[in-house]
Amino acid sequence: MSRAPGEGGLGGPRRGRVLVGVDGSASALRAVDAAAREARLRGTGLSVVHAFVWPLLKVHLGPSPYGPATGGLRQQAQDVLDTAVARARATAPDIDVAGEVVTGEPLTVLATRARSAALVVVGSRGAGAFTGLLLGSVAVHLAAHADCPVLVVRGRERPNGPVLLAVDGSADSGAAVDFAFAEAAARGVELRAVHAWTPTSGPADLTPLFHGTEEIRGEERRVLDQALAAAGANRPELPVERRLVRGRPGPVLLAESADAQLLVMGARGRGGFAGLLLGSVSQAMLHHAECPVAVVREGTVEREGTAERQGTVERQGAAVREGAAMQEGVAVREGAAVRSG
């Protein structure tokens, strides 16, 4: 299922460039490799950006009078950028690569540039990370706030592994589903859609009192099938493995990521608190998944059949809980069977 550059539907109406932030760290150079490959898949260009914070601190930027004429903070920043640009061109010689040193702190620079990007790619830790800090603050903030999908490069590279999609049936997960289907098609690999479920969400959950485990399982199977229906109909040629796994979402996805080449998930899942921009499971995967993680917020990619699919998924996902409430007049919390955020 190999494809030519740009084939596979990754572009959509957002034909912006892929954006990657670099800071001279080994993690950032891995992000450059991934970003170059993503740009090639999309048939678009790559923008390599280094945020140069020192001018804001009013420090001397030129070479020291006691050091070589080629030294200094400004030259150091340019060297970081030049190394990253050369790396990108070596990884994907057939794409347009542009580099720029931009004055500002990394978060502001990347968040601003992401507004017109198709995808922003960052490493899992930066040059300024404290020892033991698994994920830089820039990556976490972008995953929660960026106006385009965010790819955090971490874990091992497995080019033959499947694209892993975390399915939770939430109203905000449709964009992640579309993104995962497009990525799997462009990469020429299988899509593995995983839906983790448990009979209860906690001690106060009354659902098992009125519904047997098999009934709940059947309902969760319908949630999985319905979440994939529209995207699957648009790409009938794509092989899709559907896995309904009993267990908490975090441990299930961590185990499933062991042989995947990419994990795709929404920013928040069913049961997420209103106003919480990045759910607990998404954060856990950004820190611990064994493969790169793409976080896709609703509204950041093209949607197909949005209204119809969203309404059906919500109805299917709420059926068990609504049935319990009708029988006993008890309001059962949303997310009783699956809480992934």
pLDDT in tens, 92-116: 999 999 999 999 989 999 999 999 9
Whether 256 and 243 have beta carbons less than 8 Å apart is answered as yes
Structure tokens at 171: 């109203």
pLDDT of residue 277: 54
Q: Count Cβ atoms within 10 A of the Cβ of residue 176 and give its class: 0-12 exposed, 13-18 middle, 19 or more buried.
A: buried
- Can you tell me the distance from the alpha carbon of 34 to that of 16, in angstroms, rounded to the nearest whole number? 17
Please report which confidence band the pLDDT of residue 330 belongs to, taking 50, 70 and 90 as the band edges: very low
Most confidently modeled range among 2-11, 19-28, 53-62: 19-28
Which amino acid, 45? Answer: G
pLDDT of residue 98: 98
Query: Secondary structure of the chain: what % helix, strand, coil (to 5)?
Result: 40, 15, 45
Q: What percent of the chain has pLDDT over 70?
A: 70
